[in-house]
């Protein structure tokens, strides 16, 4: 399988250093493939739709001829097509991409790095070699997915300083005739859009919006079935907030066994008030605290390079980015890599009578946060 757009755009292929899409590069890769894997090794090509427009008129014509000779698929975005075909047919993938944002949908990528081939040009000759697929943590995948989402829906790039300013503040629409301003008079609950001039505008009336104060960063937590690893619930905790996590109706908490989520059967081993999570303000990054509330079947902390350890009742620990908590052996809890949330996304899930309603609790600044 050849990731045609990735190949055409690669300035590591001749003419090296030239950042322009060239179809010739596909032929160079094809020749290298046949040299290294045999003349009869089949080759399937997948390209982004947009490539047709990006190529020169001459290359577009060559592409049409190529379509008659080989299996060539076009897709809005080639990657998912490429990866599903490669998975089904057990093929190599020729691409330099790490496919980070697709690791959740295609978990086989990380377990089959040898099937991913990149390229190197030496003395004008192209050689295929393992592209170096690296394992990525669930957080990195979340962040990549979030970045893609923001770009696609809001045209916001969290690495761009101007866009970062949008993501770091609250905004208000003050247009008297705007419906969004009417329902959200204090501040918009969705992100403003950037218009063609790069000005932040309301998604409702498309008028300029007023910048309010900086927004605090919530962190979100991911809950999964400990046995299968399947995620079944996500919830945010805002800076300065805390909430209990357990089973059944909690006044200030998240019900892991709500009938509105697809909880595993052994979730009933989780204590009613199992642990407390808090996101505390500090001078640097917010501290994420975990406190076991004396759960019957325990909370185990899994941390890289150390043995899993059961927390003592009442013990408070700081949760690190890649730590994982296992509650009663039934449910896992970890931090999501997501960092930017609109107010809409920040709302806690409504879990009906069980756990819904009054789910937020303010943690006083002077609360006892001693512990490791």
Contact positions toward Zn ion, by CB under 5 A? 173, 175, 178, 180-181, 202, 204-205
3-state secondary structure of 48: strand
What DSSP element (H or E) covers 96? none
Q: Is 305 left (phi over 0), alpha (psi -120 to 50) or beta?
A: left
Residue number with CB closer to Zn ion (151 or 172) = 172
Which residues partner with 211 through β-bridges? 171
Residue number with CB closer to Zn ion (180 or 215) = 180
We find the least distance from the C-beta atom of residue 188 to Zn ion, in angstroms, to be 8
Residue number with CB closer to Zn ion (179 or 353) = 179
We find the least distance from the C-beta atom of residue 167 to Zn ion, in angstroms, to be 19
Residue number with CB closer to Zn ion (205 or 293) = 205
We find the least distance from the C-beta atom of residue 183 to Zn ion, in angstroms, to be 10
Residue number with CB closer to Zn ion (183 or 265) = 183
Cβ atoms of 37 and 22 within 8 Å: the answer is no
3-state secondary structure of 153: helix
Q: In whole angstroms, give the CA distance from residue 111 to residue 108.
A: 5
3-state secondary structure of 143: helix
Q: In whole angstroms, give the CA distance from residue 117 to residue 33.
A: 10
List Cα–Cα distances, 152 to 146, 157, 193, 330, 338, in angstroms: 10, 9, 11, 36, 16
We find the least distance from the C-beta atom of residue 173 to Zn ion, in angstroms, to be 3
Quick check: bond before 15 cis, omega within 30?
Answer: yes
We find the least distance from the C-beta atom of residue 172 to Zn ion, in angstroms, to be 9
What per-residue string of b and e applies to 74-83 under the rule 16 or more CB within 10 Å gives b? Answer: beeebbebbb
Residue number with CB closer to Zn ion (201 or 223) = 201
We find the least distance from the C-beta atom of residue 165 to Zn ion, in angstroms, to be 19
**Upper half-sphere CA count for residue 266 (Cβ side, 13 Å):** 13
Q: In whole angstroms, give the CA distance from residue 33 to residue 27.
A: 10
Residue number with CB closer to Zn ion (172 or 322) = 172
Hunting for tokens 């890599």 — which residue is that?
337
We find the least distance from the C-beta atom of residue 201 to Zn ion, in angstroms, to be 8
We find the least distance from the C-beta atom of residue 217 to Zn ion, in angstroms, to be 25
Hunting for tokens 């101007």 — which residue is that?
162
Q: Encoding tokens for residue 196? A: 């063609």
Residue number with CB closer to Zn ion (93 or 173) = 173
């Amino acid at each position: 399988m050849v990731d045609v757009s990735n190949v055409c755009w690669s300035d590591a292929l001749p003419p090296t250093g030239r950042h322009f899409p060239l179809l010739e590069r596909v032929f160079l890769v094809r020749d290298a493939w046949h040299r290294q894997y045999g003349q009869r090794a089949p080759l399937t090509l997948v390209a982004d739709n947009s490539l047709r427009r990006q190529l020169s008129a001459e290359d577009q014509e060559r592409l049409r001829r190529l379509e008659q000779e080989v299996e060539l698929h076009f897709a809005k975005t080639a990657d998912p097509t490429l990866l599903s075909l490669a998975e089904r047919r057990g093929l190599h993938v020729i691409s330099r991409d790490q496919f980070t944002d697709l690791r959740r949908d295609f978990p086989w990528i990380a377990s089959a790095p040898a099937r991913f081939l990149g390229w190197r040009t030496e003395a004008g000759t192209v050689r295929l070699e393992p592209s170096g697929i690296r394992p990525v943590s669930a957080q990195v995948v979340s962040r990549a997915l979030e970045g893609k989402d923001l770009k696609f829906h809001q045209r916001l790039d969290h690495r761009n300083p101007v866009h970062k300013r949008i993501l770091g503040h609250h905004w208000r629409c003050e247009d008297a005739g705007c419906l969004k301003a009417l329902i959200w008079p204090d501040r918009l609950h969705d992100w403003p859009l950037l218009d063609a001039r790069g000005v932040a505008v309301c998604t409702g009336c498309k008028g300029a919006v007023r910048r309010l104060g900086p927004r605090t960063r919530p962190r979100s937590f991911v809950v999964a079935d400990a046995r299968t690893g399947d995620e079944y619930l996500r919830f945010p905790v805002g800076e300065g907030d805390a909430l209990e996590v357990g089973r059944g109706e909690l006044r200030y908490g998240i019900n892991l066994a709500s009938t509105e989520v697809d909880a595993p059967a052994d979730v009933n081993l989780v204590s009613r008030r199992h642990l407390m999570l808090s996101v505390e303000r500090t001078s640097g990054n917010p501290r994420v605290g975990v406190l076991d509330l004396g759960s019957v079947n325990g909370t185990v902390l899994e941390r890289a390079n150390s043995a899993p350890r059961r927390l003592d009742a009442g013990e408070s620990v700081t949760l690190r980015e890649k730590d994982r908590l296992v509650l009663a052996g039934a449910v896992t809890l970890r931090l999501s890599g997501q960092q930017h949330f609109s107010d809409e996304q920040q709302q806690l899930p409504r879990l009906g009578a069980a756990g819904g309603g009054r789910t937020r609790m303010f943690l006083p600044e002077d609360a006892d946060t001693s512990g490791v």
